[in-house]
Amino acid sequence: MRKKSLLLVLGGLLGMASLHAQLYTIEAENYSAMSGVQTEPCSEGGLNVGWIDAGDWMAYNSINFPTSGTYRIEYRVASINGGTLSSDLNAGSIQLGQVTIPATGGWQNWTTVSQTVTINAGTYNFGIYAVTGGWNINWFKIYQQTSSSSLLWSDEFNGTSLDANKWVYEVGGGGWGNNELQYYQSGTANTTVSNGTLKIIAKKQSVGGYQYTSARIKTQGKYSVQYGNIQGRMRVPMGQGLWPAFWMLGNNITSVGWPACGEIDIMEHVNSESNVYGTIHWDAGGHASYSGSYATTPQNWHVYSINWSSNNIRWYVDGVQYHVANIQNSINSTEEFHRPFFFILNLAVGGNWPGAPNGTTPFPATFEIDYVRVYSADMSLNDKVATEVATPTSAAEFAVSLYPNPASNGFVQVKLSNRIDNTTKVSLIDMQGRLVWSGSFAGDDFRISTDQLTPGYYNVLITNGSNTIARKLQIQ
């Protein structure tokens, strides 16, 4: 057990959270109260909670469980020797059960464990208790399992090799229609599975007349889906000429070709941009496309998802919607999106969009995927979101992005979506829970000076109307 000091912190500033209709992620360090734990930099970005001994605990206030029923709670954990946690509601008055934490081989070797619980509708203070110590926690997720949204297919990448029953490799060069520069290989040359994640690795390596190698895998012939809630948790490499993607093509591509088969890009990223992109491509008497973007920290872990129904396709980052495409009644010749599609994961090098790599591009570059999951499309959620987006009323729709993050140029830009009031209050809180700065701003886009702040990690609380969102910020 690592040596630590005992610390007790009570307060509500960092415990504000609301449960998304399907999935919500809560960073472990955003507790409302705790005993005995400390925070530290995390290999997955930001901070994790560590230095956990038996009897330590964390509480997260005012977590809303909107309906009575079954919930899945996932925990991102790491441990050298393993351990046990338990979860509860309202300071232990309702016990939810214990979860075994496996030995992952290191304090920063992360894996995901879960429990399924039944909870009555209501707002509770959620607690995590260390039955035994010796483990770290990065985040936890609460997922509402409803009759209208059930798990259809998944790959958690918990084995030691790619599952050949779910994926096939695409091999070769030729530019792949985009003047890409890599040669895709099969096997472990550019693809590994370890510590609960899939790694697709691009290398500067001469093979088959190409100067770069990488991997591209797909579920074609193994699994396809028509409509659903499709999710992937992943982080991407940053660098000139790198092009990771999580996307879908229509099953009929071999008979009708592209773009008549249709394409749904759940997540694309290029170079070192802060934006990720969601796009559809189709044939409307010629190639047509419709794209949206979202500013985030792509090098860190995020859940990228779509909710695809017969009416529309909606794109999300960490449960926040940023783009929607209307496909109802095949409007604008979008009949392609009413047929089955298969999945693709790849890391391209070069191409028309990102351009070629240069001397600053970090090779090998790794595109890391924690899981891919498919749930039945929640039609009731789809209709509800369509109504609420027009009149934002909840924190689930109020969205915030901070950039650059880490902030190294003396400022951070704040961009808001779906604000209710013209005035927004921003508070910066250090890792000891101290308020170090606060201010009020008008409009959707404003800049905060960081010149006077000590380098390190901060929690940023952004309040607009009755909505409050917490974000992590690193100042270099």
Q: Which of 199, 227, 190 is nearest to 314 (CA)?
A: 227
Active site residue 74: no
For the segment 17-66, what is each residue's pLDDT rounded down to a tens digit?
Answer: 333 344 578 999 999 999 999 999 998 888 999 999 999 999 999 888 88
CA distances from 377 to 146, 258, 334 (A): 11, 25, 19
Catalytic residue among 27, 44, 263, 368: 263
Q: What confidence category does residue 240 fall into, taking pLDDT thresholds of 50, 70 and 90?
A: very high
For the segment 402-433, what is each residue's pLDDT rounded down to a tens digit?
Answer: 778 777 778 888 887 777 778 888 888 765 55
Which range has the worst mean pLDDT, 92-96, 146-150, 378-382, 428-432? 378-382
Q: What confidence category does residue 398 fall into, taking pLDDT thresholds of 50, 70 and 90?
A: low
Domains and CATH numbers, the chain: 23-144 (2.60.120.260), 152-381 (2.60.120.200), 400-475 (2.60.40.1930)
DSSP 149: B
Check: CB of residue 398 under 8 Å from CB of residue 471: no
Catalytic residue among 44, 268, 336, 368: 268
Question: Residue 453's pLDDT is what?
Answer: 85
Q: Is 0.85 topped by the overall pTM? A: no
Scan for tokens 């029923």, then name that residue. 69
Question: Residue 79's pLDDT is what?
Answer: 93
The number of CA neighbours under 13 Å toward the Cβ of 452 is 6
Active site residue 180: no
For the segment 317-345, what is each residue's pLDDT rounded down to a tens digit?
Answer: 877 788 889 998 888 889 999 999 999 99
